[in-house]
Amino acid sequence: MSDVRGQYEGLGGWLILVGIGIVVTPIRTAAELLPIYVPIFTDGTFQYVTTPGTEAYHPLWAVIILSEVCINALLFLGGVYLIYLFFRKREFFPRLFIYLAVFGFVFVFVDAMSIKIVLPSEPIFDTPTITELAKSGATVFIWVPYMLVSERVKATFTR
């Protein structure tokens, strides 16, 4: 078994793709979400949709928007921490990777459902939502099993 572990130890093979993905993800997340959330809080949108009596008011808007911001911030920070764990080859990396991947997938779905409550006439699975579900679904259905069964993962993340 030690020969097999030695053969697969290190950040090589398919882990190179995982490494690229985890480095790019926080950058992509910030680049996609900052242009969405910053204006909501700076141009009066948040106040407009959360003030009773306005045309766009719904009592769940504040909860949805603030939850999205907080959860996305936690996913971003988790992603940055994941980079650290990956390059330090920490034992906790595969587990945190799995938690974040599954949580991210569920979050996209639950977020879409909650938006449907506030905006019932809008399609629940619009193109951006389908794209995010596909990306997070691919991570869950391809990379989570890899984290669970890969000899390289078992041999590399041991510290």
d(C-alpha 84, C-alpha 120), whole Å? 41
Q: Which residue range forms the structural domain that includes residue 34? A: 2-156
Q: Is the pLDDT of residue 1 over 70?
A: no
Task: Give the SS3 label for residue 118.
Answer: helix
Q: Which two tokens stand for residue 145?
A: 């099993």
89-120 per-position pLDDT tens digit: 999 999 999 999 999 999 999 999 999 999 99
DSSP annotation of 13: T
Q: Give 142's DSSP letter.
A: I
Give the contacts of 138 (CB within 8 A, at least 6 positions apart). Answer: none
pLDDT bracket for residue 139 (50, 70, 90): very high
HEC string of 34-97 equals HHHHHHHHHCCHHHHHHCCCCCCCCCCHHHHHHHHHHHHHHHHHHHHHHHHHHHHCCCCHHHHH
pLDDT of residue 159: 85
Where residue 83 falls (left for φ over 0; alpha for ψ -120 to 50; beta otherwise) is alpha
pLDDT, tens digit (0-9, with 9 covering 90-100), for 50-87: 999 999 999 999 999 999 999 999 999 999 999 999 99
The total number of structural domains that make up the chain: 1
Whether the Cβ atoms of residue 65 and residue 40 lie closer than 8 Å to each other: yes
Give the type of residue at 117. Answer: I
